C-alpha cells in the first residue's frame, strides 16, 4: 500500500463538505502512481469513485494530462502545410448515431491537413462501436502496428492512430476498473483532451456536459495549450450534429486573443436534418463506402458538414462555405477514397515487412 497515495485519497474522498481538491502537481503524481500501479487496486478503485463524486477541477485535469504526457505514447512532429488536427472522442464508442470522424479524417488528409486519432477497444460503460473497429471494417487495421510503424505511416499519409492497448499499455490497464466500477472515471475526461502528438496541433475535444468544457479550458490555459476546439458533438464526439445548434468553442490566438463561442445553425447552410442513426455496423460500412464512391446519402451530408467545418478551422479554407464545398468535392472526385487506398497500401507494406522479418 502507498501511504503517499492514501493521503491523496483522503483529500478527494472525505465527503461533500470536507473533501479537498488536489493541486496540479498532486494530480500529476496521483495519476502516475495509478498508471504505474504504485497504488493498490483498492486505492485506485476508491480514488476513481471518490474523484468522480467530487468532480475533478481544471487544475486537477491539467495534472492528469501532465501525467499522460510523461508516460504516454506520442507521435513525433511531421512537416505539413497545416497544423495537425488531433481529435479526442469518448473511447467507449458510439451506440446511437453514425460516426463521421474516419471519413472526416480522410477528407482532411486528402487536403494536406494531418490528423491524429486515438482510442481503444470496446470498453465500458457504453461498450459502443469504437473508431478502431470502423477502420478495420474499412480495411485499415491499426491494431498490429507498433508506434514506430504508425509514425512512418503518419509521415507518409498524414494520418495516424494511437491505439491504447499497443501504444499506451499503462492506460489500457486502467480499463479493467471501468469494467468493474460500471462508471466513467475522470480518466474518461482526460482522454478527450489528451494530445498524443508532439508537434503544432489543434486539439479538438468532444463533450456532452458544459462543466467538461470548462474543465478543459482551465486545463488548457494552465498547460499553455494555444489552439483547441471544443465541440458539443454527437454522443460527446467531435462530429457536428445536424438536428440542433452546434455549440463550439474555439481558442486560436492567431485569429482572436479570446476564447470564441460559435453557434452554428445547420439550417443556415442547408444541412438541417435528423442525425443518421447507427442501425448496424454493416449498414454503417455500406453507407461509408457509398460516400467514398461519391454516392449521395444522408451520411454524406453529415460527413460534409463536419468535414467542411474542420477544413475551415484547420486553415485549409478561408470560411465555412468554402470548406463545405471542398469537403464535398474531395468525396465526389474520389480523392478521399484514394487516400483510403493509400493508407491500405502503406499499412500492407509494413505488415509484409513484418512477415518477412518473422520469417
pLDDT at 356: 47
354 — pLDDT class (breaks 50, 70, 90): low
Mean pLDDT (whole number) for 235-244: 98
d(CA 20, CA 32): 19
Per-residue pLDDT reduced to its tens digit, 96-152: 999 999 999 999 999 999 999 999 999 999 999 999 999 999 999 999 999 999 999
Per-residue pLDDT reduced to its tens digit, 301-328: 999 999 999 999 999 999 999 999 999 9
Q: Above pLDDT 90, what percent of the chain?
A: 92
Query: Dihedral (C-alpha) 193, 141, 234, 315: value to the nearest 10 degrees?
Result: 60
pLDDT at 154: 98
State the Cα angle at 174 between 171 and 176, rounded to 5°.
140
d(CA 138, CA 35): 33
d(CA 48, CA 59): 17
pLDDT at 2: 82
Q: State yes or no: pLDDT of 359 exceeds 80.
A: no
Q: State yes or no: pLDDT of 16 exceeds 80.
A: no
Q: State yes or no: pLDDT of 355 exceeds 70.
A: no
pLDDT at 183: 87
d(CA 235, CA 19): 31
d(CA 253, CA 227): 7
d(CA 161, CA 185): 23
Helix axes 320-332, 298-313, angle to 10 degrees: 130
Q: Is 229 in a helix, a strand, or coil?
A: strand
Written as one string, the DSSP assignment of 173-208 is TTHHHHHHH-S--THHHHHHH---B-SSEEEEEE-S
Which range, of 18-22, 158-162, 269-273, 335-339, averages the lowest pLDDT? 18-22
Per-residue pLDDT reduced to its tens digit, 55-86: 999 999 999 999 999 999 999 999 999 999 99
Q: State yes or no: pLDDT of 8 exceeds 60.
A: yes
d(CA 174, CA 47): 12
d(CA 164, CA 265): 35
299 — pLDDT class (breaks 50, 70, 90): very high
d(CA 174, CA 299): 34
Tell how strand 159-163 and strand 201-206 pair up: unpaired
Q: What pTM value is reported for the model?
A: 0.95
Dihedral sign, Cα of residue 304, residue 131, residue 161, residue 346: negative
Compute the mean pLDDT over every residue in the chain, rounded to the nearest whole number: 95
d(CA 1, CA 44): 11
User: Which is higher by pLDDT, 23 or 181?
Assistant: 23
Q: How many Cα atoms occupy the beta-carbon half-sphere of 268 within 13 Å? A: 8
| Chain region(s) in the chain for CATH 3.40.1030.10 | 84-336
What the block records as the C-alpha cell of 71 is 508516460
Residue 150 host element (H or E): helix 147-157
d(CA 248, CA 246): 6
CATH class of 84-336: alpha beta
254 — pLDDT class (breaks 50, 70, 90): confident
Q: State yes or no: pLDDT of 93 exceeds 60.
A: yes
CB 198 within 8 A of CB 76: yes
pLDDT at 358: 47
Per-residue pLDDT reduced to its tens digit, 181-206: 988 999 999 999 999 999 999 999 99
pLDDT at 1: 67
CB 74 within 8 A of CB 198: yes
Q: State yes or no: pLDDT of 351 exceeds 90.
A: no
Residue 143 host element (H or E): none
d(CA 172, CA 166): 9
Per-residue pLDDT reduced to its tens digit, 206-232: 999 999 999 999 999 999 999 999 999
17 — pLDDT class (breaks 50, 70, 90): confident
d(CA 327, CA 100): 13
Amino acid at each position: 500500500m502507498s501511504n503517499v497515495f492514501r493521503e491523496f485519497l483522503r483529500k478527494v474522498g472525505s465527503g461533500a463538505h470536507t473533501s479537498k481538491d488536489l493541486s496540479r502537481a498532486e494530480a500529476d503524481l496521483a495519476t502516475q502512481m495509478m498508471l504505474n500501479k504504485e497504488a493498490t487496486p483498492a486505492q485506485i478503485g476508491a480514488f476513481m469513485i471518490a474523484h468522480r463524486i467530487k468532480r475533478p477541477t481544471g487544475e486537477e485535469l491539467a495534472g492528469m494530462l501532465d501525467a499522460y504526457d510523461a508516460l504516454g505514447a506520442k507521435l513525433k512532429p511531421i512537416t505539413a502545410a497545416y497544423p495537425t488536427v488531433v481529435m479526442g472522442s469518448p473511447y467507449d464508442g458510439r451506440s446511437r448515431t453514425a460516426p463521421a470522424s474516419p471519413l472526416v479524417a480522410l477528407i482532411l488528409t486528402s487536403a494536406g491537413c494531418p490528423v491524429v486519432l486515438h482510442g481503444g477497444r470496446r470498453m465500458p460503460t457504453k461498450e459502443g462501436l469504437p473508431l478502431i473497429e470502423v477502420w478495420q471494417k474499412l480495411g485499415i487495421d491499426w491494431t498490429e502496428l507498433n508506434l514506430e510503424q504508425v509514425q512512418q505511416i503518419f509521415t507518409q499519409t498524414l494520418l495516424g492512430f494511437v491505439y491504447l492497448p499497443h501504444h499506451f499499455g499503462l492506460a489500457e490497464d486502467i480499463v479493467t476498473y471501468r469494467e468493474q466500477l460500471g462508471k466513467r472515471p475522470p480518466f474518461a475526461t482526460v482522454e478527450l483532451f489528451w494530445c498524443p502528438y508532439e508537434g503544432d496541433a489543434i486539439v479538438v475535444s468532444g463533450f456532452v456536459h458544459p462543466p467538461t468544457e470548462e474543465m478543459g479550458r482551465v486545463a488548457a490555459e494552465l498547460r499553455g495549450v494555444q489552439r483547441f476546439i471544443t465541440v458539443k458533438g454527437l454522443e460527446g464526439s467531435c462530429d457536428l450534429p445536424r438536428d440542433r445548434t452546434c455549440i463550439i468553442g474555439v481558442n486560436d490566438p492567431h485569429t482572436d486573443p479570446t476564447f470564441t463561442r460559435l453557434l452554428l445553425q445547420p439550417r443556415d447552410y442547408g444541412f438541417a436534418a435528423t442525425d443518421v442513426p447507427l442501425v448496424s455496423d454493416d449498414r454503417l460500412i455500406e453507407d461509408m463506402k457509398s460516400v467514398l464512391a461519391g454516392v449521395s446519402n444522408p451520411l454524406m451530408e453529415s460527413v460534409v458538414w463536419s468535414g467542411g467545418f474542420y477544413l475551415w478551422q484547420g486553415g485549409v479554407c478561408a470560411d465555412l462555405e468554402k470548406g463545405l464545398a471542398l469537403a464535398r468535392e474531395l468525396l465526389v472526385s474520389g480523392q478521399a477514397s484514394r487516400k483510403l487506398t493509400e493508407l491500405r497500401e502503406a499499412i500492407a507494406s509494413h505488415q509484409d515487412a513484418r512477415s518477412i522479418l518473422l520469417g
